[in-house]
Structure 1
């Protein structure tokens, strides 16, 4: 996984080459991360728990692709559950006090969410592509096929997570005598140990899935645009736009800065000013990528045709006016009378006296 063992750096981190060494600082992260993560935790937890409840218990008349959405909401829920630990970590100057194993678990789930979200987006994209351009093939796909795909994705994610959770210990930051979590690996670790993780994550975790999304969705949108105006057309286009917006706002900036960050760590980029800028940009995109779990419920809403997403609270007030269609005695139509119900007089069930 990209940068899976070296994430948010402490403010006084060093990098260097054979001739020089300079510090990397981003003191704004101590306020940026707690604020962003607090917002994401509150909104993401409420939205995704509600989404899981509605998707599993209340929403009806959905396609088999709801399996992807349920698992996407589950991954987002696991992600927001680790945010309180990261909020405490950044509030205390990037000092981890919860132990080695909890650091590995929280750090792993943080990045599992990123790549599982992209994977499920890609699955939804392929599902929509087949449904629109190959409808006869689509009707032959069963829900068991979706469950199998989801199982494979979770097995792959967990097979990567287990070695990371059972991996090496935390790394101490000597300058401030703090315990860092998932960061501060030496240049040799980046060059040899972490390079395969980062390259595979960038290529198979983002470049290929994002390319599929960019290629498939214009074809889908073009085919949908040929259909006459309908509710299904509007919902399909809304699904396309939401996924493109989430990928563009959350995942694209993160992976672009991560690529630069990786090149900086293996000392391909050695310019001091540019290195410091990359380091600060990465802090911002790490915070920005977490917003995806707050935006994903929009996808569930626009994909579902159920009215259960709407929380209808009906306030019952006594009617003040009554509309009549016809007064047979006066032979007049569409009169409006003020309701002056006499004691003991019963009202007609449909509201007309």
Structure 2
């Protein structure tokens, strides 16, 4: 196909779709993460070691949410970046750290649940808070090491006030190679580990009748959240990111593939959807707290009658004291 057949306005989708999704993500994500972290810290002593990963998941989300207002300004102004080259790279770096830390900590939670359910006796006393903290530090370090090369790719043209999501056209081939390695190590391997863990957990839950119904329901809910996050946020983004880079290489060679426009559109939509992971991740902390919240709610019907009983008892005691006082006063008067 001739390259002229691929000429259309690429900026319309970015300038209209992404600002709307960023706004939704910032509002829902900020409220959801603040509420989730507050619940988590309030009930920290009553919760398990998994909450070390949930806490780090929330911190990664907050790190990225603070950069969203700058991206909103960028796209609302028609892709004019006014905050400098260094902050452009830092904003993109925070996005990548949030994305792959989220995947990493969700994978850690899946592995912990797998070990606790499938190998409970073997893991007894081994899943400690100290080990959870060390694993969390390792996840942060691995993600930062994976994301560091992205900083060294050019993000701006000298004559244009833009902040590229990937890199300039001159470095597209190198960036595609880096993106494929990044996708394999940061996404595909954690995805296979997560699927393997929860596939085995599902098999065990179906076979064992001695596992509590509440635990089964909790695992099913968490599996649903994982499927939602990976299918809506993570899988489309990685597929379309690499296809978009390949399409750009083809355009550099004056080759216009028929799916170029569809890939670009899908890539922009997936960029908006992957940002929603910061708004959907608080469901993990909410699920962790659900058992304690439900237990508290179940106690309310029992506590209400007790409250009124003590209230009535206290009011009766006051009446008796007043009666005794009036009796003693009348006795004193008669004397």
Conservation of the 8 A alpha-carbon contact between 1:190 and 1:266 = yes
Partners of 1:62 and 1:30 in 2: CA distance: 43
Kindly indicate whether residue 115 of structure 2 is the aligned counterpart of residue 157 of structure 1. no
Structure 1: distance between partners of 2:295 and 2:100: 27
Structure 1 position 280, deviation (Å):
1.0
Structure scoring higher RCO (CA < 8 A, sep ≥ 6) equals: 2
Are 2:201 and 1:201 equivalent residues in the alignment? Answer: no
Q: CA contact under 8 A between 2:250 and 2:257: conserved in structure 1? A: no
Establish whether residue 189 from structure 1 lines up as the match of residue 171 from structure 2: yes
Instruction: Report the number of matched residues.
Output: 301
Residues 108 and 43 of structure 1: is their aligned pair in 2 closer, same or farther, counting only changes over 3 Å? same
Report which stretch shifted further, 151-160 or 263-272.
263-272
Alignment partner of 1:211 is 2:192: yes
User: Which residue of structure 1 lines up, in the alignment, with residue 227 of structure 2?
Assistant: 244
Map 1:127-276 → 2, pairs under 5 A: 127-141=112-126, 142-162=128-148, 164-165=150-151, 167=152, 170-172=155-157, 177-183=160-166, 185-186=168-169, 188-192=170-174, 194-225=175-206, 226-228=208-210, 229-267=212-250, 270-276=255-261
3-state SS of 2:138 partner: helix
Q: 285-294 vs 150-159, which deviates more?
A: 150-159
- Is contact 2:85-2:156 (8 Å) kept? no
Question: Of 41, 62, 66, which residue of structure 1 is paired with 2:26?
Answer: 41
- What secondary structure is seen at the aligned counterpart in 2 of 1:135? coil
Contact 2:3/2:256 (8 A) holds in 1 = no
- On the 8 A contact 1:261/1:282 being kept in 2, the answer is yes
Q: Deviations over 1:206-254 (max 9, x none)?
A: 1111112222212211212333552222112211221122111111111
3-state SS, counterpart of residue 136 of structure 1: coil
Shift of 1:259: 2.6
Q: Is the 8 A contact 1:89 1:95 kept in 2?
A: yes
Gaps of 5+ in 1: 1-16, 324-345
After superposition, residues 1-353 of structure 1 pair within 5 angstroms as 20=3, 23=7, 25-141=10-126, 142-162=128-148, 164-165=150-151, 167=152, 170-172=155-157, 177-183=160-166, 185-186=168-169, 188-192=170-174, 194-225=175-206, 226-228=208-210, 229-267=212-250, 270-304=255-289, 305-307=291-293, 347-349=312-314
Distance in 2 (CA, whole Å) between partners of 1:172 and 1:273 is 28
Q: How far does residue 23 in structure 1 lie from its aligned partner after superposition?
A: 4.3
Q: Distance in 2 between matches of 1:179 and 1:209?
A: 33
Deviation larger for 253-262 or 66-75: 253-262
- Name 1:329's counterpart in structure 2: none
Q: Secondary structure at the match of 1:273?
A: coil
Which segment drifts farther, 154-163 or 231-240? 154-163
Distance in 2 between residues matched to 1:242 and 1:236, nearest whole Å: 10
State the superposition RMSD in angstroms: 3.2
Gaps of 5+ in 2: 320-335
Higher strand share: 1
Distance 1:31 1:20, change over 3 A: closer
C-alpha contact (below 8 Å) 1:37/1:290 kept by paired residues: yes
- Partner SS for 2:250: coil
- Of Structure 1 and Structure 2, the greater helix share is in 2
The answer to whether the 8 Å contact 1:246/1:292 transfers is: yes
Compute the TM-score of the two structures, normalised by the length of structure 1.
0.76
Q: Do the aligned residues in 1 keep the contact of 2:88 with 2:163 (CA within 8 Å)?
A: no
Task: Identify if the C-alpha distance between structure 1 residues 183 and 65 changes in structure 2 by more than 3 Å, giving closer, same or farther.
Answer: closer
Greater shift, 297-306 or 262-271, is seen at 262-271
**Which secondary structure does the structure 1 equivalent of 2:162 belong to?**
strand
